[in-house]
Amino acid sequence: MSLAGVSCLVTGAGGFLGQRIVRLLLEEKEALAEIRLLDKAFSEEALGEFGKFQGKTEVKILEGDIRDVTFLHRACQGTSLVIHTASIIDTLGLIEKQLLWEVNVTGTQLLLEACVRYNIQHFIYTSTIEVTGPNCKGDPIFNGDEDTAYESMSKFPYAQSKRLAEDFVLKADGQVLKDGGTLMTCALRSMYIFGEGCPFLLGHLDKCLLNRNVYLRFSRKEALVNPVYVGNIAWAHVQAARALQDPQKAKHIRGQFYYISDDTPHMSYADLNYELTRDLGFGIEPQLPMPLTMLYYFSLLLEIVSFLLRPFVRYIPSTNRHLVTLLNTPFTFSYRKARNDFGYVPRYTWEEAKQSTGVLSSSTCHSPDSQT
């Protein structure tokens, strides 16, 4: 099934993943009628990328806040598909919990309400592996799937906000639209995303340059995860969108969540950064700066200091117990169900993803702004 003639709204369209989804939609052989790009602000670089496509698909840029009901209703009216990637990502506790909730949870609820009001039949939500875990005990998962039992006990605000938003999306499936139609929803739980323009990789690259071109080891080698290339998670969104247009496929994926990974080799987060840029001559430290248990309690100490200073100054530690557990727990998942239910197959190989990411890293580390 194609997306020919579909009018699609992409939230978070100016972001790392959103831009890639839009690019793939614009490259569709059978043109969509319209793509509306919603974000709070767009960089000049993003607008330039969108401007390169001079196809039959009409592109509308919508700058505004997802919490603004009037703006949201105007953005939704007349569309038939929503791909909702917009959210605040926060692994360090930098963002006030109220703001995190307003954008990630309330923003999603408002968007679902607008879908019912304006008869938008198809809704795809970008979720995250952190909805599952790892939990605070660091229980590992090896090659898990959607049926894997796991006790998720994370109280970290970002993970909680995404879990609650995903619940709202999946429970909204089957709601009756204003015109009598039916809302169909699904959620894609992405692994950690890497690729060209990845803000987390660029952040670690800057620290590497300051450390004489040697990456700091922030996760032990045994903590295997399976990150996903940005082009492949974007492709999964396009394939899910196509499947929702097909009545036979739609009945299998409605109200379901899917783990989206690809064929990136299983490795730790620290080793991923190293593998993506090793051809540029970078090294990596052989072990953690201190034993894992000590690192965990050192992070607890920093959290206590932050709490004690809160009445006087806002101190955000460089690490916390949640982050230490997240980065040092083996946590891998299969994309088998997504392949079986809606035909997801990675579009880009590991070598292609590695080469594309490395090219960007090369240009970054040789730019004037990153010289040490």
Predicted confidence band of residue 202 (pLDDT cuts 50, 70, 90): low
With a cut of 60, say whether residue 110 has pLDDT above it: yes
Structure tokens at 74: 């105007």
DSSP 221-270: TT--B--EEHHHHHHHHHHHHHHHHSHHHHHHHTTEEEEE--SPPPB-HH
Span 49-54, average pLDDT? 76
d(CA 24, CA 17): 11
Mean pLDDT of 158-168: 96
Say if residue 368's pLDDT is above 50: no
Is the previous residue joined to 134 through a cis bond, with omega within 30 degrees of 0? Answer: yes
How far is the C-alpha of 240 from the C-alpha of 314, rounded, in Å? 42
Residue 361: pLDDT above 50? no
Q: What integer pLDDT is reported at residue 359 of this predicted model?
A: 52
Task: Tell me how far apart the alpha carbons of residues 284 and 273 are, in angstroms, rounded to a whole number.
Answer: 9
The distance between the two most distant Cα atoms of the chain, rounded to a whole number of Å, is 63
**Catalytic annotation, pick one of 118, 125, 150, 158:** 158
Give the mean model confidence (pLDDT) for residues 291-313: 94
State residue 154's pLDDT score.
76
Q: Which one has a higher pLDDT value, 345 or 364?
A: 345
Q: What sign for the dihedral angle of Cα 73, 175, 162, 200?
A: negative
Rounded to two decimals, the pTM is 0.93
Pseudo-torsion of CA 210, 212, 213, 218, nearest 10°?
Answer: -70
In tens, the pLDDT along 120-148 reads 999 999 999 999 999 999 999 999 999 99
**Whether pLDDT at 189 is above 90:** yes
pLDDT digits (tens, 9 = 90+) for 326-359: 999 999 999 999 999 999 999 999 999 999 886 5
Q: Is the dihedral of CA 192, 196, 197, 203 positive or negative?
A: positive
Quick: pLDDT tens for 70-96.
999 999 999 999 999 999 999 887 888
Tens of pLDDT, residues 227-277: 999 999 999 999 999 999 999 999 999 999 999 999 999 999 999 999 988
Residue 326: the pLDDT is 94
> CA-to-CA distance for 48 and 302, rounded, in angstroms?
42
Query: How far apart are the C-alpha atoms of 103 and 108, rounded to whole Å?
Result: 7
Is residue 158 part of the annotated active site? The answer reads yes
Q: Cα separations (Å) of 214 from 25, 37, 280, 284, 286?
A: 38, 39, 11, 5, 10
By mean pLDDT, which of 45-49, 280-284, 305-309 is the weakest? 45-49
How large is the average pLDDT for residues 144-169? 93
Quote helix, strand, coil % in the chain, to nearest 5: 45, 15, 40
136 close to 323: Cβ distance less than 8 angstroms: no
Phi, psi of 326 (to 5 degrees): -60, -45
Q: Which domains does the chain have, with CATH numbers?
A: 7-195+228-263+331-347 (3.40.50.720)
First and final CA of the chain: distance in angstroms?
Answer: 51
